[in-house]
Chain A
Amino acid sequence: MSIKEYLKDRTVFLLINFTLYIIISGILLLININSKVILLTFCIWFFPILVYIMIEYVKQKLLYNELNHIMDHLDKKYLLTEIMKKPENIEGKLLYDVLRRANKDMHEHVNNYRDRENEYREYIETWVHEIKTPIASTRLIIENNQNDITRNIKEEVKKIEEYIEQVLYYSRSNNVSKDYLIKEVSLADLVKRVIKRNSRDFISKGIIIDIEAVEGTVYSDAKWLEFIVNQVIGNATKYNREHDGRVTISTDRNENNIVLTIEDNGIGIIDKDISRVFEKGFTGENGREFGKSTGLGLYLCKKLAEQLGLGLIITSKMGEGTRVKLIFPLGSVNLIH
């Protein structure tokens, strides 16, 4: 707010005063009053007005500067009315009250949605836990009645389980603070666990696995990490060749991070798709061709990795393979000794 703008706002007020002054000084001139007196009248008239305008200007300028300053440095802008000083002039007070009412209404609105979302998430999580019981008994029934039919059912049940796990992590992906426990995770153990989970796919497709060069420990949430690595390794088997497929997993320790690299020699990702693999619902050429991609897996991985403070990078060459790097920064939450 510059002085010019401020004065412009008061043009009418000043014009009226000037006009009045001119009319009055005209009358005074007509009745032969000394021009000095007229000048004096001008001073007496306009000095207080100008002083008043200046004081008001400074006051308002300070108020708005402060508001702007608070606004610029406020993380949650809608908390402005909680932080600002209550203005003393009537316009300021009115503005303040209106702001507060608007805010309050907005809060109620947001709360309403937050409650709904929470309720929905809680329902999903309860549902996931409930559905696990019939799955567990299905698994046991299969185990107790092994034949070719149940073996096939077992494969399908495994898929159902993976989808259910995805639902759970999707509902959790916006809320790190819940179910989140940082502890020491051995990368070799983590990788082995995931490979075991996918052992059927590796064995039936005859994919060779090489995990010689996996070592090191990181500090992170083991479950979430397992979900990410499982998704990546699952993709590495899913989009691999039927013969001489190979998955190589290794770790590199750099000055300020540890990188877990999962590499396959599968079909690879076409160039125009690679930048979009982390988008929600994006399936790409491979997804269409294989017909079983939901486009959620990698999206979730990226999201969870971000929540965990990890980097996730995919590079690929069509027909030659795909390389996924999971980067654990040193010195942050994922501190490694």
Chain B
Amino acid sequence: MSKIVIIEDTEKIREELKNFLIRYGYEAVAPINFENIINDTLKEEPNLILLDINLPIYDGYYICREIRKISDVPIIVVTSRDTEMDELMSMNLGADDFVTKPYNTQILLARIETILRRVQGSNIRDTLIYNDLKLNLSNGSVTYKGKVAELTKNEIKIITCLYKYKGKIVSRDDLMDFMWNADVFVDDNNLSVNVARLRKKLEGLGMQKNIETRRGLGYILP
């Protein structure tokens, strides 16, 4: 499990962000005391740091610079200052990414995931497994009991999304939202067609119980 340290002085955001990250399967730590923030953070040996810029005692730029002197841990700067200059400055100080407040939480998650995947090596999150169905993201194929099928880009996105919700119903709107956020701008009909095609491919692999449609609710991978 990846450990994320949140350096943020607004209590509400700190707590909610912590809960949010925990809910998505990360270990989140949010220090409250900022006096020894650099040492406290590094002591946690985090996999990633979310860093606010406007902080008491030391500002984020300083912290970022100091951490970089000692450690290569990925840092995502999170700030309400949104000018290009702020972004440039953060990047120059060694931050890995820059997200402006108020952020779209899904985008923040995606950024975190991307950076972690890059840092921790590509194969960790490239293969997803659920009920004997193995999804290989790097070559876009699914494997079920030894049989392999190639998927198109859209089909991969659909099944990845269903995977994320593991056994929960995903509404069509949420599924569309997920796909749009991944640069696949499908319309309603297209989505139905893609789901049908994907279902057929999975059936072809001998997977009888695959994607189900729950009328009025959405899709589910049981």
Contact = CB atoms under 8 A, between A and B. Distances in A.
Interface in A193-213: 195-196, 199-200, 202-204, 206, 208-209, 211
A129 B80 contact: yes
A121 B13 CA distance: 27
A139 to B, nearest CB: 5
B188 A206 contact: yes
B181 interface: yes
Contact of B16 (A141, A157, A161, A196): A141
Interface string B56-97: 000000000000000000000000111111001000000000
Contacts of B19: 144
B93 to A, nearest CB: 17
B83 A140 contact: no
B130 interface: no
A56 interface: no
Contact of B102 (A135, A211, A222): A135
Contact of B177 (A129, A135, A179, A199): A199
Nearest to B176: A203
Interface residues of A, number: 35
B182 to A, nearest CB: 9
Contacts, number: 82
Interface in A125-175: 129-130, 132-141, 143-144, 157, 161
B20 A144 contact: yes
B160 to A, nearest CB: 17
Given A137-B16, A179-B85, A202-B180, A132 B187 contact: no
A192 B181 CA distance: 9
9 contacts: A137-B12, A139-B103, A144-B16, A144-B19, A179-B85, A183-B84, A196-B180, A202-B185, A203-B177
B10 interface: yes
A143 B88 contact: no
A221 interface: yes
Contacts of A211: 185
B105 interface: yes
A143 B180 contact: no
Q: What is the predominant secondary structure among interface residues of chain B facing chain A?
A: helix
Contact of B173 (A141, A181, A196, A203): A203
B85 A181 contact: yes
Contacts of B188: 206
A223 interface: yes
A208 B101 CA distance: 29
B102 A132 contact: yes
A157 B20 CA distance: 18
Nearest to A203: B176
